[in-house]
Amino acid sequence: MTRTARIAVAAPHPAAVDAASEAVAAGGDAIDAALAAAAALTVVYPHQCGLGGDLIALVKRPGRGVTAIVSAGAAPAGVDVAALVGEERMPKQGPQTVTVPGAVAGWRAIAELGGVLGLAAPLERASRLAAEGYPVTAGLARAIAIREQELQADEGMRGVFGDGAGGLKGEGDRIVQPALAETLAELAADPGAMYAGRIPASISARLRELGGSHTEADFAAHVAERVEPMVAERDGLRLWVAPPPTQGVVLLGILPEALDGDPAELVAAMHEAALTRQAQLGDPRGGAIDVDAMLDPRGRRADGQLPRAGRALGDTVAVTAAGDDGTVVVLIQSVYQLFGSGILDPGTGVVLHNRGSAFSTDPAHPARIGPGLRPPHTLLPVIAETDALVLGLGCQGGSAQPWILAQLAAELLDADADPQTALGRPRFVVGARDLGHPVMTLVAEPGTEAAVAAATALGLPVALAEGLIDDAGHVQTVRLHADGRLDAASDPRADGRAAVLAAS
């Protein structure tokens, strides 16, 4: 009798889950499902992710442990550091904020770890989706409204998101992307075409036209790294995150308070961890960074230079997938802030990220900008394991991702907890400019009174929302239980859904 494979998937848009379902129906595994969802999201969620962004992922394979994929692009070799260090902070958008996009190289690295379908099928499906079009969701409509001025200022953005009458498209309007469809079809035939040939030639030429220094050689130099993750262990729990330049280490630093479940202690730890991250997180390629400080931020209260950042809203998508064979994938891809750099290359249809806006212009800072260096990264995939289950967890939320995931970890590690209920609970985050506030502030949804009281006692300003907010994150999670059960949940703050799929 043929065994029916089961795969749980969660993603922030229904089209992504549909793509994963198609992959599973074709005989794909959890890796195939995650890659199919990720490719579809680059079409339907252009404000949050795309071919022009980066990717960080964790993959757990049965009998082989956990592997981290870090495909974070670097600043171009010709970046004018002297001009930038004279500025207080990096610009928020524009060509100087564009680092080499790593998403496609990241997909290739994940596919090399397993899967049976390869990248051609999901990229061909994404190409068809871009050519046929899709309706604007509520989340995309909010993003278009927020970034109206920036979208109107860019020729490529106007061509895709304009309504033909001088305005921009709204919820329910159809978006068709023929140039992106052509690019995706080219990548389906050869994913390496993202880094050699027509695609990088078009993108780099457009960036130079706008004042950047990017060349095709910068694209050719990019390689996705397959590295050992960082791991924390406590009372039978093992939890894995990607290493710097990502901020996974920041979550490890507040994990004790997160698991103990005291909101007051967690708020205090988050505040100190946020300040320490500002001072210490950077690219190990540029020199040693103080990982120990981020692993134990208590009492340090280092007042670091916060690289210029916009609001955390809409910066990322997370895809989680788990198979009953023991494979778990947490994949996060991003154009950083909404619509990234504000640049869409008309020749390729690619929206380019503004990850470089997170660099520091201080030459002494661990996050300093320089040729071949990567900015500090917010993307934070998590895999955790106990005797009872394996948890895959990721979210949208910019710099607030450690705070968001910390509030969910303990409940989601309880095998009896309902994950959808957990994701719907009110949350709180701390931040400054990343959340639109001039100083470090607690931003809280209704129902987080203990956290609000703790922040007030610490002297932290409080911004209380009227309901659930995007700043509190769009979380996606899957769980594989020791008895073989699978479950999944998608955050009610997003446009997505979760499903447990079956295929013979």
Catalytic residues: 316
For every residue of 418-474, DSSP letters joined together read -HHHHHHS--EEEESGGGT-SS-EEEE-TT-HHHHHHHHHHT--EEE-SS--GGG-E
Report the C-alpha gap between 45 and 41 in whole angstroms. 5
Report the C-alpha gap between 194 and 80 in whole angstroms. 24
Cα maximum dimension of the chain: 69
Report the C-alpha gap between 376 and 281 in whole angstroms. 6
Task: Pinpoint the alpha helices (H) of 95-229.
Answer: 103-111, 120-132, 138-146, 148-153, 155-161, 178-189, 198-209, 216-220
**Of 418, 406, 417, 409, whose CA–CA distance to 391 is shortest?**
409
| Omega cis (within 30) before 14 | no
**Of 347, 389, 357, 369, whose CA–CA distance to 93 is shortest?**
357
Report the C-alpha gap between 381 and 72 in whole angstroms. 14
CB 336, CB 315: distance < 8 Å: yes
Report the C-alpha gap between 240 and 381 in whole angstroms. 8
**Of 110, 165, 102, 127, whose CA–CA distance to 40 is shortest?**
127
Q: Which residues contact 165 (CB under 8 A, 6 or more apart)?
A: none
Q: Sign (positive/negative) of CA torsion 95, 97, 100, 101?
A: negative
Report the C-alpha gap between 425 and 170 in whole angstroms. 29
- Rounded to 10 degrees, the C-alpha dihedral 237/241/243/247 comes to -120
SS3 annotation, 369-402? CCCCCCCCECCCCEEEECCCEEEEEEEECHHHHH
CB 328, CB 478: distance < 8 Å: yes
Taking each helix axis from N to C end, the angle separating 30-44 and 178-189, rounded to the nearest 10 degrees, works out to: 150
- Nearest 5°: the CA angle 432, 313, 441 is 20
Phi first, then psi, for residue 171 (nearest 5°) are: -55, 130
